[in-house]
Each structure stands twice: as C-alpha cells, then as structure tokens.
Amino acid sequence: MSTATTTVNKKDIKSKDYLGPTDPKLDAQVREKLITARVGLLLRASFFGNLATRLKLVNADGWCPTAATDGRNFYYNSRFVNDLKPKEIEFLFGHEVLHCVYDHMGRRGERDPQLFNIANDYCVNGDLKKHRVGEFITTVPCLYDAKYEGMSSEQIYDILYENAEKIDISQLIEKMLDEHLDGDGTGEGGDKEGDDKESGSGRPKLTQAERDQIRDEIKEAVLAAATASEGAGNLPLGVQRIIQDMTAPKMNWRELLRMQLESTIKSDYTWMRNSRRGWHMDAVIQ
C-alpha cells in the first residue's frame, strides 16, 4: 500500500505565526542565539558543534516555517528559532547535523517520501535525546518514541509502513521538527518555490553533481569532527558505524582471494627445465 495519498502541507499547520517578511532587528537577535548555541555544542558535544559550525546560517523566513539544511547551509525561520529555549536550539542544530551525517537526502530510494521523512525524525530525535545533545524540544511538537531508539531510518520506516493503515500520517507530519529538502527544491508538500538559494524567498535547488559534491564534503567533515572530538565512543551507534566504514581499510575481494589461495597452495616447485650441468656429479642444477 502507499501513503502518498495522505498529503499534508506542514506549512498550513506550523507556519501560521512564523512565515512572513523578515524583521531585521529580530533576525540579528536570532543569529546571536544561533551562534551562541553552536558555541554551546562545541563545549558540550564537540562532534556536533564542529559540524554545526561548518553550516552557513541563512535566513529563510519567506519559505521555511522552522529549519532545514541542504548539507551546506542551515536555513532557519527567525520567529521559530526565537521561540525556542537556548538548549533547544542546540538540539535543533544537532537535528540538522544528523540529517547530514546519515545522508537522509540520498537514502530514500523508492520509499514513500513523507513516511521516510517521519522515520528520519524518529531516528535523529531518538539519538539526540539518548546522548543528551542539547535539550529535547518541547516548545513545539517533536517526534519521539523510545521503541525506535538505536534503529536506522530504514528499520523505522519498515515498521511504520507495515502499520500505515493504523497511523494518522497527518498528525505525525504535524510533529516533524523541520523541513526535509530533497535537494531539488522540494519540501514536505512536494512543491517547488523560487530559485534563490541565498534569500528567504525560495527553497534551495541542487543538481545531482552538487549533491554528490556535498556528500563528499560531509564525509570529510565527519572524519575531521570525529578526529577533533573527545569521547567519540559516546556518539550514536549509527554515527560510529559510519565513521568505522569510512576509516576501516578496504581491500579488493580478488586480492583477498589471491592471498588466500597463495597461502594454501604449495609453491616449492618450478616448471623450469633442469640444467644438465652437474649430471656427471649426480647433482641437479637449475
């Protein structure tokens, strides 16, 4: 079955008081809050702080009711961020960082977009809450269920998909913390708005080449953040697995097979013809 028919534009639910023209004075205050939150992450959760610092702060009051990321920028709604507590903003940064680390934009495949985005939020929020990154957001609805802790987005998606008939998808979408960008200008409602990546008037649109480049940049940033961070063993298991996959030495299976064969097959012989020199001495010379 498909849940694609249950289409709810989150903007109609969450953005009644948030979307609108930017107030320069408020935006300046909010940027200070965002910078302070990143510093707090650097001090208390350095892995997340390092990755949050690399994201460029971009005001998106015109199209984004909460926050979003494309892997390079942190898009924020100034009114939404202003309503959050300081440590809730740290949680918000951690939320966007994990979306990047887990490559949620590139892992959806043929799955239902809305249901997979819900699974992503369950996964990310569970990891952040368990590892006490910032303060779990209660100012606005936020998806969390203890039974999903430690699961990947794919595992959570399978559970949600199997129970889709019993789930109120619209209610879950209302509790999603941020806008999930597919990298091509689409958001939760599947619509496209604007072309300007840097202004608050339009969602970012990325080519496949740009997406691939951002994915490579994130991998390098994750390794650098893991190296610079203390207590890497305290990171979520999903992050630890990603770091291990990136750092574990990889060898071609053909090379491994050759080495195994050479170690088990006798090689103390040669196909070279024997030299006749020395035969008169009853000796064999190669």
What is the pLDDT at residue 198? Answer: 43
What is the pLDDT at residue 159? Answer: 95
Least confident of 130-144, 186-200, 215-229, 270-284: 186-200
Tell me the pLDDT band of 167, cut-offs 50, 70 and 90.
confident
Tokens in use for 173? 């979408």
Tell me the pLDDT band of 108, cut-offs 50, 70 and 90.
confident
How far separated are the first and last CA of the chain, in Å rounded? 74
The Cα–Cα gap between 176 and 173 comes to: 5
Greater model confidence, 106 or 255: 106
Q: With b meaning 16 or more CB within 10 Å and e meaning fewer, what string describes 10-29?
A: bbebbbeebbeebeeeebee
Report the mean per-residue pLDDT for the chain. Answer: 81
Q: What is the mean pLDDT of residues 52-69?
A: 95
The Cα–Cα gap between 169 and 160 comes to: 10
pLDDT over 60 (residue 197): no
Q: What is the mean pLDDT of residues 228-253?
A: 74
Residue 54 makes CB contacts below 8 A (sequence gap 6+) with: 221
| pLDDT above 90: percentage of residues in the chain | 47
Highest mean pLDDT among 44-58, 100-114, 210-224: 44-58
- Is position 274 within any domain? no
Look up the domain containing 122 and give its range.
11-247
What is the pLDDT at residue 25? Answer: 97
Tell me the pLDDT band of 242, cut-offs 50, 70 and 90.
confident
Least confident of 29-38, 63-72, 259-268: 259-268
Looking at the chain, list the stretches that DSSP marks H as alpha helix, in order from N- to C-terminal side.
11-14, 24-44, 46-53, 78-83, 86-101, 113-130, 153-162, 169-174, 208-228, 237-247, 253-264
Name 76's bridge partners: 59, 67
What is the pLDDT at residue 275? Answer: 63
Give the angle subtended at the CA of 82 by the CAs of 81 and 85, to the nearest 5°: 85
- Is position 272 within any domain? no
What is the pLDDT at residue 161? Answer: 93
- Is position 256 within any domain? no
The Cα–Cα gap between 74 and 57 comes to: 5
Q: With b meaning 16 or more CB within 10 Å and e meaning fewer, what string describes 114-134?
A: bbbbbbbbbbbbbbbbebebb
- Is position 110 within any domain? yes
- Is position 275 within any domain? no
* 216 CB neighbour count, 10 Å cutoff: 10
268: three-class secondary structure by DSSP:
coil
Which residue has tokens 């309503």? 83
Number of domains in the chain: 1
Residue 55 makes CB contacts below 8 A (sequence gap 6+) with: 69, 72, 73, 74, 93, 96, 97
- Is position 105 within any domain? yes
Tell me the pLDDT band of 56, cut-offs 50, 70 and 90.
very high
Kindly report, residue by residue over 66-97, the tens digit of the pLDDT: 999 999 999 999 999 999 999 999 999 999 99
Query: How far is C-alpha 222 from the chain's CA centre?
Result: 10
In the 8-state DSSP scheme, what is residue 274? P
Tell me the pLDDT band of 5, cut-offs 50, 70 and 90.
very low
- Is position 285 within any domain? no
What is the pLDDT at residue 12? Answer: 43
What is the pLDDT at residue 192? Answer: 38
Q: What is the mean pLDDT of residues 240-252?
A: 75
